[in-house]
């Protein structure tokens, strides 16, 4: 099994909905940040990748696609390692993206909850460092977001890349992947409220497991 689809879009760009869509279309299982919470060894593997020692086969064992952070932080390396994989850049309005980050993973409450955990160490190494720790600087974060997307557009050949907004639904995604359009609606999940509730539940489960 090898990665067939690489999600280059950063978190809060409809990546969990895309994960569900790819799995429905036969490109799953799909790796997403939620998988990191499920595997106690995952944070250290991503820290190794950030230190220039990636083991992509081990990280993505059993998966056929990847979206969201942490994978999106390594889109360039993954595109080179999996040359036959197609690349999807999920996008949204930069202002709404910034607002969503402040309500979710960059919120003070969320960061405080993960303090001292292996997951927090990975998040800081892979994600916080990429934004230079400026979690609440609107101008800086929007510039980062726009620069990230521009770099993907410039580096990935047009025939290999789909720039995708979840509001477009199934049609462009299915055309790009060469599969029929499902009769069911395009998945819609992971609002800011759902993100916070799920992250808090996962954190409680992790804390309970560490006490056992």
3-class state of residue 187 by DSSP: coil
Query: What's the CA gap between 191 and 104, in Å, rounded?
Result: 9
Domains of the chain: total: 1
Phi, psi of 161 (to 5 degrees): -115, 135
Instruction: Kindly report the CATH number assigned to the domain that includes residue 181.
Output: 3.40.50.300
**Mean pLDDT score, 115-137:** 90
Residue 192 reports pLDDT greater than 50:
no
Residue 204 has a pLDDT of 52
Nearest-angstrom CA–CA distance, 155 and 172 = 21
Does 49 have pLDDT greater than 80? yes
List the domain range (segments joined by +) for residue 191: 5-211
pLDDT (tens digit, 9 = 90+) per residue, 148-160?
999 999 999 999 9
């Amino acid at each position: 099994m090898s990665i067939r689809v690489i999600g280059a879009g950063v978190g809060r760009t409809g990546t969990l909905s895309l994960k569900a869509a790819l799995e429905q279309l036969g490109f799953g299982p799909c790796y997403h940040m939620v998988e990191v919470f499920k595997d106690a060894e995952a944070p250290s593997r991503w820290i190794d990748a950030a230190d220039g020692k990636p083991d992509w086969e081990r990280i993505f064992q059993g998966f056929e696609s990847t979206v969201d952070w942490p994978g999106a932080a390594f889109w360039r390396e993954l595109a080179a390692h999996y040359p036959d994989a197609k690349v999807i850049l999920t996008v949204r309005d930069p202002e709404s993206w910034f607002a969503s980050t402040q309500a979710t993973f960059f919120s003070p409450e969320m960061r405080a909850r993960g303090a001292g955990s292996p997951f927090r160490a990975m998040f800081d190494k892979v994600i916080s460092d990429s934004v230079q720790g400026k979690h609440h600087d609107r101008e800086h974060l929007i510039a980062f977001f726009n620069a990230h997307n521009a770099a993907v557009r410039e580096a990935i050949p047009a025939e290999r890349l789909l720039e995708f907004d979840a509001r477009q639904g199934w049609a462009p995604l299915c055309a790009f992947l060469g599969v029929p359009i499902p009769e069911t609606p395009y998945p819609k999940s992971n609002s800011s409220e759902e993100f916070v509730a799920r992250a808090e539940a996962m954190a409680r489960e992790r804390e309970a497991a560490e006490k056992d």
